[in-house]
Chain A
Amino acid sequence: MSDRPVWQGKPRPIALALKGLALFLICAVVIFPFLSVVSTSLATKQQIDANGGYVLWPTSISFDAYRQIFDGTGVGRSIVISLGVTVVGTAFSLFCTVLAAYGLSRRNMLFQRGLLSFVLITLLFAPGMIPVYLMVKQMQMLDTYWALIIPSAVSAFNIVIVRGFIQAIPHELFDSARMDGAGEWRIFWSLVLPLSRAVIAVVGLFIAVGYWNNYFGPLLYLNDQTKWPLQLVMRSFVLQNHVTSNSSAQPGLAAPPAQSVQMALVVIATLPILCAYPFLTKHMSKGMLTGAIKG
């Protein structure tokens, strides 16, 4: 029997094969839905009907669904709105979160324990839908984009994660900065922020995804449909069992099938997150692990 631990030993072919199979299955579980969504968005009606609703591999590719979506449906506008809300919301939310986390990580801060308890208690008691709606109304934010940003700008969960990360920064660094004459803002900008990039990236991604995927806020607070973000428009396409394009009103003019339009929208809605993710992955593992260890 080898002295080496099991994980350092040369795997047997059967073990390798099983690992390969397991990895393939896991990948398949992740990739197949994506593939199906993309393929269905590019498929023709005949293919979709023949495949019982969803296509795994289109035999002929059609971009009609995408053309249909950007042809006066307001989807283009809703994408701009979603991007705007996500960018502004994420920046604002990160600003609030990191500042709050830094403040709450300082043990010598006035009322630190009380304020921390105040933040933590919001984790236990979520406000109801109607009270939040009434508050948004009282703040005269109904039918404004601020209603999509302000109510969800600060999350106690995110504050706790960032605070934990900041607390892990060695105190000696703060002390030396102070000895060099740095004030709290200087320490925050020149020390805390650069050292917290990983957790800021992770929390920023959480926040951005939250803003990007938010349909409930817009549903409640936006009455003007021209202000609807992409997620609410997409919800109306996907859930409502109707897509105008399914009706080939003009004989001879084949409109793209409803499923294609629905799936094309899903692709469009997923794309920004997919694009942003690779640039954040280098921070993800560090940020997630640090949060996990300290949390």
Chain B
Amino acid sequence: MSTPNLSRRTLFKGAALTALSGTALNSLTACSPGTGGSTAAAGKAVPVPTYVEPVKPKPQYAGNAQGVMDVYAAFPTNGPTTVTGGPVGDGSDFNVLVMTYGQPAPPLEKNAYWQLLNKELNINVKPQLVPAADFQTKFPALVAGNDLPEVVSIPVYMNVARLPQLAEAQFTDLSEYLSGDAVKKYPNLAGIQEANWLNGYLNGRIYGVPKSDPVFTSTLYTKTDVIKRAGGNPQPTTLAEFKDLAKAVNNPKAGIYAFCGGVDDITFAESLMMSFGVPNKWTQKSDGTFVSSYEHEQFIPAVAAVADLHASGYFHPDTATMSKVQRDALFRSGKLAVVADGNRAMGIIADDHALEFGMIAPFAQDGGKAAYWQGGGAYAITMLKKTSDKKRVDRFLRVLDYIAAPFGSHESFVMSYGAEGSDYTVQNGVPVLTTRGQREQDLGLAYIVGGPQVLCDPQGAPGVDKQYYDWQQKAVPLLVPNPAAHLYSQTYNTKGSSLDQKMRDAIISVFLGRSTASSLKDAVATWKQSGGDQMAREYADSLKKSS
């Protein structure tokens, strides 16, 4: 239903500032939930890789297996080495296709981070970076020209057409190397959890190694100082209280608005859908059939509620055309009180020490039990071009094992901070990335593989990690999974993106007052007829096969 709201800035800030888990990447949480089933498995013909909990330093605040993230005050500078058994690579080239949200890194000869990584991994990392905005253009050309490099990382939410068929034809089946206990040969990959691995299944077998993603989706961020000044309650627990907040803070004469959307953005509407109890994309009935959330009785009322807020003048007048950059600036300057975005996707948390902000805990519109949509578990999967050379496969997995090293390890520190002096300095015992260090890390490797992420933001706004941790404690018990998240639908794979776009357009049209809420009935009927019903049948079939 949504497009992931990835902020590249926040994504990379994960590597730059928030030294997280193996790849120091917190902000992959910036994703809204994918529509499900994009790279999902048509059942599992081989067992899921055995999970072996990684050894980790004692956190300041402990997370849990359900998704609350560990919090650390700083990145340990003397962590243990987790990748043993001699050199990781064999000195050869490691050509990898990665979608990025950043700018080209400085070339190898001027890039201390890259040089260090090559030395540590004993390979020549040769990233082939594709800007996120152009991935859907470039990838088909590379496939058509048979020009995919040896290693290919594909964002799960990209919904690459006919990926299972492509995997079977062009990529290596990694099942015998990773399924069950076989993964224990690569201990850091064994630290990736089942929900993440499910994204790497294609045609029932393991083709991709996942880059895990926190369980969270979109969040309502509040400018608490503005709300408090206006006498509003920054933690509403019902829709009525939410409206009261908007009423209290909205002051068009002063240029202050309660809410804002953005171009093609339905994140705000999704937040209210959660409040209305709309299911996470699909519902599985007791007879095994699937029903779309668009058909849920609260879907239209939820969108109507957003439209009502818009009609009341609580949204910034530029909502329909506003870019994220503008919106963030308005939020920072106190001209917006509440914005919806992917988890930690606002560039607001880590880089603005003076910013006072909060997050609204999920609430039910009627004050009942709230719901919060759970994410798909992975940001990307990384695959190896077809080879029967076991040494090549082993080298590939050893490199990924290094990159996936858990937070606190020597490898993770290298991935996150690079070379001392040029990429980071130690200030009061805390490693601090230099501007050069941030820039040099734009190689994209942080996006390709990794296990559970942690919160570690020593340079962010004071208390930001604890605040986020507290919010997670409230959200995790309310998680609602998408039952189709790891099932395969050919219809979704081929037509899902355009069908979703049409529904998104219909929702935005109602939200902005261009159409009435009742028009959504027709939009849903068209969606069902054009492929929605077929998707439901295919998910049910896929589930049957997997069970």
Give the B-binding residues of A (Cβ under 8 A): 48-54, 68, 71-74, 77, 129-130, 133-134, 137, 142, 219-220, 223-226, 228, 232-233, 235-237, 239-251, 253, 255, 258-259, 262
Contact = CB atoms under 8 A, between A and B. Distances in A.
Given A219-B131, A241-B324, A246 B351 contact: yes
A255 B435 contact: yes
Contacts of A248: 351
B66 interface: no
Interface stretch (B102-110, B271-279, B362-370): B102-110
B68 interface: no
B434 interface: yes
B477 interface: no
Nearest to A225: B104
B12 interface: yes
Nearest to B355: A49
Interface string B1-17: 00000011111110011
Contacts of B137: 129, 219-220
30 contacts: A48-B329, A49-B329, A52-B330, A52-B333, A53-B326, A53-B330, A72-B436, A74-B105, A77-B107, A130-B141, A134-B144, A219-B130, A219-B134, A223-B149, A235-B133, A239-B131, A240-B101, A242-B12, A242-B101, A242-B103, A242-B347, A248-B351, A249-B16, A249-B432, A249-B435, A250-B435, A251-B353, A251-B459, A258-B325, A262-B325
Contact of A73 (B8, B129, B439): B439
Contact of B12 (A220, A235, A244): A244
Contacts of B10: 242
A258 B439 CA distance: 13
Contact of A258 (B9, B129, B434): B9
Highest count of chain A CB atoms <10 Å: which of B100, B141, B442: B141
A74 B101 contact: no
A249 B434 contact: yes
A233 B9 contact: no
Given A53-B326, A72-B110, A253-B435, A247 B134 contact: no
Contacts of A247: 9, 13, 16-17, 350-351, 438
B231 interface: no
A219 B137 CA distance: 9
B433 interface: yes
Contacts of A226: 104, 107
Contact of A242 (B7, B433, B459): B7
Nearest to A69: B103
Contacts of B43: none
Interface string B417-447: 0000000000100001111111100100000
B86 interface: no
A258 B432 CA distance: 20
Nearest to B425: A250
B147 A137 contact: yes
Interface of B: 7-13, 16-17, 100-107, 110, 127-134, 137-138, 140-141, 144-145, 147, 149, 323-330, 332-333, 335, 347, 350-351, 353, 427, 432-439, 442, 459
Interface centre among A142, A223, A224 (most CB of B within 10 A): A223
Contact of A220 (B17, B138, B333, B434): B138
A137 B131 contact: no
A77 B326 CA distance: 30
A226 B134 CA distance: 18
B10 to A, nearest CB: 8
Given A68-B435, A251-B353, 14 more contacts: A52-B329, A73-B103, A130-B144, A219-B131, A220-B138, A232-B131, A240-B102, A240-B133, A241-B8, A241-B325, A242-B103, A244-B438, A246-B9, A247-B16
Given A235-B131, A250-B432, A243 B103 contact: yes
A224 B103 CA distance: 13
Closest 4 CB pairs of A and B: A242-B9, A242-B8, A53-B326, A53-B329
Contact of A74 (B106, B138, B147): B106
B354 to A, nearest CB: 10
A246 B333 contact: no
B14 to A, nearest CB: 11
A133 B351 contact: no
A224 B104 CA distance: 10
B11 A242 contact: yes
B435 A228 contact: no
Contacts of B11: 242
A226 B328 CA distance: 31
Given A223-B128, A251-B432, A137 B145 contact: yes
Nearest to A46: B333
A244 B330 contact: no
A93 to B, nearest CB: 23
Given A72-B106, A137-B147, A225-B104, A243 B9 contact: yes
Contacts of B353: 251
A229 B2 CA distance: 33
Nearest to B351: A247
Select the residue from A72, A239, A245, A249 with max chain B CB neighbours within 10 A: A249
A106 to B, nearest CB: 39
Given A219-B131, A251-B432, A133 B144 contact: yes
